[in-house]
Amino acid sequence: MLALALAVAAGTLFAADMKTTKPTAAKDALECAPGEKSACGLPSNVVIDMSKAKIQRTDAEWQERLTPLQYQVARLQRTEPPFRNAFWDKHDDGVYFCVGCDTPLFDSSTKFESGTGWPSFYRPLEKSFVGVERDVSLGMIRDEVHCTVCGSHLGHVFDDVPRAKGKRYCINSASLRFMPRKNYDAWVAQSTVVSTGK
């Protein structure tokens, strides 16, 4: 319950920076250049059980909340191109939130250089926030990952890093929002006080 309360509380923090991508950028931004695609970058075709999602919105509401690029990736399971996305080369200290519901999903302390051109993490901040669905589209077997709170598509997870490190969560930048560490710490402190009623 605390987690959900945190997620909902975060909504106001990001209100100002929503819709920062130009609407016309969506189609071009999703076009991969020749040779750019990899198993990580191909779109998904899984059925995410939305009945379990705590936050549900109509299609019109999703389109209103998200930029066209975010909508295409998070809701239609498309994939942004590698090396031409917001966070693949970001090294700032902080936390990455779900673009669809502002749930904190990944910590920058688990982010690593995978060489794929997409932001990659060893593990989610909270395992229960990231759901896995077997994706057998396009003649491959992959594990699609999505936000369990709102059902937004995030990317895929692979078992090709040393087990002691975790896994390789290959995530679309368009499915994420970034919050610097000091803002995150302040937000957690404030949210905890609110949720405990003190």
Distances (CA, A) of 162 to 158, 168, 177: 11, 9, 27
Q: Where are the alpha helices (DSSP H) in 47-98?
A: 59-65, 68-74
Give, as one character, the DSSP assignment of residue 63: H
Q: For Zn ion, which residue of 81, 100, 119, 155 counts as binding (CB under 5 A)?
A: 100
Contact 154, 172 (CB under 8 A): yes
Does the annotation mark 170 as catalytic?
Answer: yes
At 52 the three-state DSSP class reads helix
Comparison of 145 and 150: residue with beta carbon closer to Zn ion: 150
In the shown chain, the binding pattern of residues 113 to 142 toward Zn ion, with x for contact by CB under 5 A and - for none, equals: ------------------------------
- When asked if residue 150 is in the footprint of Zn ion (CB under 5 A), the reply is yes
Chain residues 152-171 in contact with Zn ion, contact rule CB under 5 A: 152
- When asked if residue 98 is in the footprint of Zn ion (CB under 5 A), the reply is yes
Q: 160: buried, middle or exposed (CB in 10 Å: 19+, 13-18, 0-12)?
A: exposed
The one catalytic residue among 40, 98, 101, 170: 170
Stretch that binds Zn ion, among 57-65, 147-155, 172-180, 190-198 (CB under 5 A): 147-155
The binding site for Zn ion (CB under 5 A) comprises: 98, 100-101, 147, 149-150, 152
Q: Which residues are part of the catalytic machinery?
A: 170
